[in-house]
Amino acid sequence: MADVGLSRGLTNYGDRAFSLYLRRAFAQSMGFSDAMLERPIVGIATAGGGFNNCHRTTPELVTAVSRGVLAAGGLPLEFPTISLGEPFLTPTSLVFRNLMAMDVEEMIRAQPMDAVVLIGGCDKTLPAQLMGALSAGKPAISLVVGPMMTGSFEGERLGACTDCRAWWARYRAGELSDERIRALESNLATTAGTCAVMGTASTMACVTEALGMSLPGAATPPAVHAERLRIAEATGARAVALAHDGLTPDRIVTRESVENALRVLFAIGGSTNGVIHLTAIAGRLGIPLTLEYFNAISATTPVLVNLKPVGSAYMEHFHAAGGVGALLRELAPLLHRDTVSVAGETLGERLERVPAYVGRDVIRSATEPLVERDALVALFGNLAPNGAILKAAAADERLMEHEGRAVVFADLADLAARIDDPGLDVEPDDVLVLQNAGPIGAGMPEAGYLPIPKKLLARGVRDMLRISDARMSGTAYGAVVLHISPEAAIGGPLAAVRSGDRIRLSLREKRLDVVLTGAEIAERLRGFAQPPVPSRGYAKLYAEHILGAESGCDFDFLTRDPGRRTLGTGRAWP
């Protein structure tokens, strides 16, 4: 019998016929007929659960995918993997992305499936699923759960979670009472689905469609829109075709499709987390994505999508305006048209079919961009020899050429203890510096969006230059430099900065520097010792194998790029 369906990957007892006989006997216990058990198997990887509000619609998506699989002649078999509900994980969801990727990879490989549908969407789940599926190497197709719809409060439209931050900042500034901020809370995230703005989940959904790993049009339909279920059914049907064709992800995710995805990441004004995830995804197939290359693509890609936090609209509007298809057509001259998607067609073929309607208030034309170029920029300099990231499109332009006095917080606890201290010596032109919040230092939390000190909020200050080795939520905004590498916890130059030092940012020169000589930095770091590695479990694995932000924070033994460097022997997280 051909090595497909149930006969795939049999346990070896030394008697192949018996192995299959045994497996079929147990499969029969689920009530499947012989005819069903002869079909190609489509695994449906789910990541739902009580700790993941974004994935609340997973059961109905599974039903729709299964319908598509059955109609196309396959046998759908759902299987769970771990789930990463962004707000419910400590120390950070990023810490567990690689764990989920390993779970996905191993379960795809270990179980007898001919193709797999990956149902996910909340920030880290989608990259984890893609990373795992790319490494597993079986035909795979992504189905995102889709974005939330917006809500409203006192006549203003609200969407998780750019508005969470904007209103919280107003609350911190004393503009909102306790009662009103509590009333607002129940209107920020009002439906199933992922965050309603161009946060990390939306960014990765668009990037995934641009990579070719989901069906055309799959990124943007809201979670509660009927189109989401139709796409789920079509995804199931297409998975059966993939099982027959053997179209594996390595033929879809190529240097060219990664570049297309990078163009889309910039054109949507996407999340800085997208840089880390796309680097890790590409790394699974040995496709290098250096920060220098990243800058070259960013410098030639306009921002066209007017969504929060860079612009003003929400994902439901992007969908109604034409979604990723309309955007791709605007970007067409910049794209590789011969890349192939899971739909089995080239991008060029897709673009010939894209309907003409484009909502111009949300998707700008290439001749009238929202921002001409450089949405996201990699910075280098004596503070970031291996690079740092700045979401220039979402920052106060005034701060993009800036020199200011450093106000240093040694770690997250220090930040929490002192940021609102009335005695804190801080002025609007100062630079807030957070240390020890990188991958080793603290699991790289989304803490790079340091709060503006209350005493400055009260003076009307709404943006300051803030720098750290942490990440930032894709829903956040401001003059925030992130992912500084090497990080402070492994003795990067960031660890040498002291309050009162002068920090210089130049977007024009793409540099981030502290006004210190190399010798002064070295002297301050003399005797620096990394904290010890945890003694057991996943924390130990993480600490020993995590790569830097510029390498996508994958584990060294999971990436296909042997040149990547682990961060060393620091602790995983406090």
In the bound state with ligand FES, the residue whose beta carbon lies nearer, of 447 and 465, is 447
Interface positions, 290-349, toward ligand FES (CB under 6 A): none
Nearest to 255 by CA among 287, 233, 212, 213: 287
The half-sphere exposure of 326 on its side-chain side, counting CA atoms within 13 A, is: 22
Mapped onto helix, strand or coil, the DSSP state of residue 489 is helix
Nearest to 449 by CA among 460, 430, 462: 462
Taking the complex as a whole, how short is the minimal distance between the CB of residue 43 and ligand FES, in angstroms?
23
Report if residue 550 touches ligand FES, rule: CB under 6 A.
Answer: no
Q: How far is CA 465 from the centre of its chain?
A: 23
Query: Tokens for 293?
Result: 């290359």
User: How far, in Å, CA of 452 to CA of 170, rounded?
Assistant: 11
Beta strands in 452-491 (DSSP E): 465-468, 480-485
In the bound state with ligand FES, the residue whose beta carbon lies nearer, of 196 and 291, is 196
User: How far, in Å, CA of 212 to CA of 399, rounded?
Assistant: 37
Taking the complex as a whole, how short is the minimal distance between the CB of residue 53 and ligand FES, in angstroms?
7
Report if residue 122 touches ligand FES, rule: CB under 6 A.
Answer: yes
Taking the complex as a whole, how short is the minimal distance between the CB of residue 200 and ligand FES, in angstroms?
7
In the bound state with ligand FES, the residue whose beta carbon lies nearer, of 468 and 473, is 473
Cα–Cα–Cα angle for 249, 254, 260, rounded to 5 degrees? 115
In the bound state with ligand FES, the residue whose beta carbon lies nearer, of 83 and 306, is 83
Q: In 111-145, which residue ranges form alpha helices assigned H by DSSP?
A: 125-136
Select the residue interacting with ligand FES from 40, 68, 74, 199 (CB under 6 A): 199
Taking the complex as a whole, how short is the minimal distance between the CB of residue 196 and ligand FES, in angstroms?
9
Strand partners, 142: 118
In the bound state with ligand FES, the residue whose beta carbon lies nearer, of 86 and 233, is 86
In the bound state with ligand FES, the residue whose beta carbon lies nearer, of 147 and 478, is 147
Q: Which residues contact 27 (CB under 8 A, 6 or more apart)?
A: 6, 37
Q: Which of the stretches 191-199, 281-289, 354-362, 394-402 binds ligand FES when contact is defined by CB under 6 A?
A: 191-199
Taking the complex as a whole, how short is the minimal distance between the CB of residue 125 and ligand FES, in angstroms?
8
In the bound state with ligand FES, the residue whose beta carbon lies nearer, of 98 and 271, is 271
In the bound state with ligand FES, the residue whose beta carbon lies nearer, of 87 and 568, is 87
Interface positions, 81-110, toward ligand FES (CB under 6 A): 86-87
Handedness of CA 250, 251, 252, 256 (dihedral sign): positive
Taking the complex as a whole, how short is the minimal distance between the CB of residue 159 and ligand FES, in angstroms?
10
In the bound state with ligand FES, the residue whose beta carbon lies nearer, of 194 and 298, is 194
Report if residue 282 touches ligand FES, rule: CB under 6 A.
Answer: no
Report if residue 144 touches ligand FES, rule: CB under 6 A.
Answer: no
Nearest to 54 by CA among 83, 92, 91: 83
CB of 281 closer than 8 Å to CB of 130: yes
Taking the complex as a whole, how short is the minimal distance between the CB of residue 184 and ligand FES, in angstroms?
17
Cβ atoms < 10 Å from Cβ of 512:
25
Taking the complex as a whole, how short is the minimal distance between the CB of residue 122 and ligand FES, in angstroms?
3
User: How far, in Å, CA of 410 to CA of 150, rounded?
Assistant: 38
Taking the complex as a whole, how short is the minimal distance between the CB of residue 93 and ligand FES, in angstroms?
9
Report if residue 201 touches ligand FES, rule: CB under 6 A.
Answer: yes
Report if residue 195 touches ligand FES, rule: CB under 6 A.
Answer: yes
Strand partners, 547: 566
Q: Give how many residues touch ligand FES by CB under 6 A.
A: 9
> Which DSSP category does 403 fall into?
E
Report if residue 194 touches ligand FES, rule: CB under 6 A.
Answer: yes
Q: Which of the stretches 192-200, 230-238, 294-302, 510-518 binds ligand FES when contact is defined by CB under 6 A?
A: 192-200
User: How far, in Å, CA of 274 to CA of 553, rounded?
Assistant: 12
Taking the complex as a whole, how short is the minimal distance between the CB of residue 565 and ligand FES, in angstroms?
31
Residue type, 522: A
CB of 215 closer than 8 Å to CB of 144: no
Select the residue interacting with ligand FES from 105, 123, 501, 561 (CB under 6 A): 123
Which chain residues interact with ligand FES by CB under 6 A?
A: 54, 86-87, 122-123, 194-195, 199, 201
